[in-house]
Amino acid sequence: MKNLKQQKQAAVFWILRIMTWLVVGILFWILGFLLVKGMGVLSWEFITTAPKNEMTSGGIFPAIVGTLCLVTGSMLVAFPIGVMSGIYLNEYARNGWTVRFIRIMTNNLSSIPSIVFGLFGMALFVNTLGFGDSILAGSLTLGLLVLPIVIRTTEESLKAIPDTFRNGSRALGASQLQTIYKVVLPIAFPNIMTGLILSIGRVSGETAPILFTVAAYFLPKLPTSIFDQVMALPYHLYVLATSGTDLEAARPMAYGTALVLILIVLLMNIIAGIIRSLTSKDYVK
């Protein structure tokens, strides 16, 4: 009787285990699939030339440059603001309704769908402020989108630092600003960087917010100012996959683009993960 009960339990646990490995397997399926199909397309030429023959051959250089521009632009927006508001929330703000309000708003901002950011960016930056479809409008939109990520990681990495560090610094006569600048921030720096890296991963993969704020269907010319349109990797993949003139002929290009994109994004996530696991034990000592 007891044996039967144990067998049943073992069976159920095996089912849970198999379901877990199935879920994990999805990641490797997607990754493996794109590797097998895209590896043959990847070459130096693919990365350094513009698309040719109605995007059925050539490379993705303009899209890579465009994504780089957007990543740089949006980080210039999100990183300083995010770090500053993270510092404010953890170091200055007393636990009153202001902090609660800001925190709820930050949470809400991160739950707003990316297409709504696209609409908003189009209405405010492209139309009302008159930036047009431009790197500037796209970067501002994407910057606001990842702001909650930067705020949250900054706040968490500051929270992880024990108050003994701050008290020690203040006891030596340092002001609050000096303490933050010379003691707290240097310790928190690596963890704050994970916020930056995660945001870069997110920004390079977002499509919906750039559809109507910056992305160009086909533009082999590289941008010369922040008021230019650019191509971007995720939008380029969308175009190749759904709306090219010859979808079948464009498939290899699409596989290659998808592989480059997923490698960039996963690399960013892995780097952030490594930094986090390296630094998470430091304060305990």
Where in 83-102 is the site for another protein (CB under 8 A)? 84-85, 87-89, 92-93, 101-102
Stretch near another protein under the rule CB under 8 A, chosen from 52-60, 61-69, 223-231, 238-246:
238-246
Question: Which of 45-53, 54-62, 75-83, 223-231 is the region at the interface with another protein (rule: CB under 8 A)?
Answer: 75-83
230 in helix, strand or coil? strand
The CA distance from 123 to 212, in Å, is 10
- Please report the DSSP string for 180-196 in residue order: IIIIIHHHHHHHHHHHH
- Between CA 153 and CA 260 the distance in angstroms is 26
The CB-of-127 to another protein minimum distance in angstroms stands at 7
Q: What is the smallest separation between the CB atom of 249 and another protein, expressed in angstroms?
A: 14
Q: Which of residues 112-171 bind another protein (CB under 8 A)?
A: 112-120, 122-124, 127-128, 144, 147-148, 151
CA atoms within 13 A on the CB side of 119: 5
Residue count at the site for another protein (CB under 8 A)? Answer: 86
Distance from CA of residue 56 to its chain's centroid? 29
Work out the burial of residue 17: count CB atoms within 10 Å of its CB; fewer than 13 is exposed, 13-18 middle, 19 or more buried: exposed
Name residue, tokens 């500053």. 84
In whole angstroms, the minimum distance from the beta carbon of 176 to another protein comes to 7
- Smaller CB separation from another protein, 20 or 167: 20
Contact 235, 210 (CB under 8 A): yes
From 46-54, 59-67, 184-192, 265-273, give the range in contact with another protein by CB under 8 A: 265-273
Residue placing its CB nearer to another protein in the complex, 225 or 261: 261
Q: How far is the CB of 187 from another protein (least distance, A)?
A: 18
Looking at the Cβ atoms of 61 and 117, the one nearer to another protein is 117
Place of tokens 């986090």: 276
CB 214 within 8 A of CB 137: yes
Q: Which stretch binds another protein (CB under 8 A): 44-52, 66-74, 103-111, 159-167?
A: 103-111
Least spacing, CB of residue 32 vs another protein, in Å: 11
Q: What are the DSSP calls for 49-117, one per residue? A: S-EETTTTEE--HHHHHHHHHHHHHHHHHHHHHHHHHHHIIIII--SSHHHHHHHHHHHHHHHS-HHHH
| Dihedral over alpha carbons 257, 259, 262, 263 (to 10 degrees) | -120
Name the segment binding another protein (CB under 8 A); options: 18-26, 58-66, 166-174, 187-195: 18-26
Q: With respect to another protein, which residue has the nearer C-beta, 53 or 242?
A: 242
Site residues (CB under 8 A) for another protein, limited to 28-47: 30, 33-34
Closest separation in Å from C-beta 9 to another protein = 4
Interaction between residue 20 and another protein (CB under 8 A)? yes
Q: Which of 50, 70, 230, 258 binds another protein (CB under 8 A)?
A: 258
- Long-range contacts at 105-109 (CB < 8 A, ≥ 24 apart): 106/147, 106/148, 106/151, 106/152, 107/148, 109/144, 109/147, 109/148
Binding residues among 169-228 for another protein as defined by CB under 8 A: 175-177, 198, 201-202, 204-208, 211-212
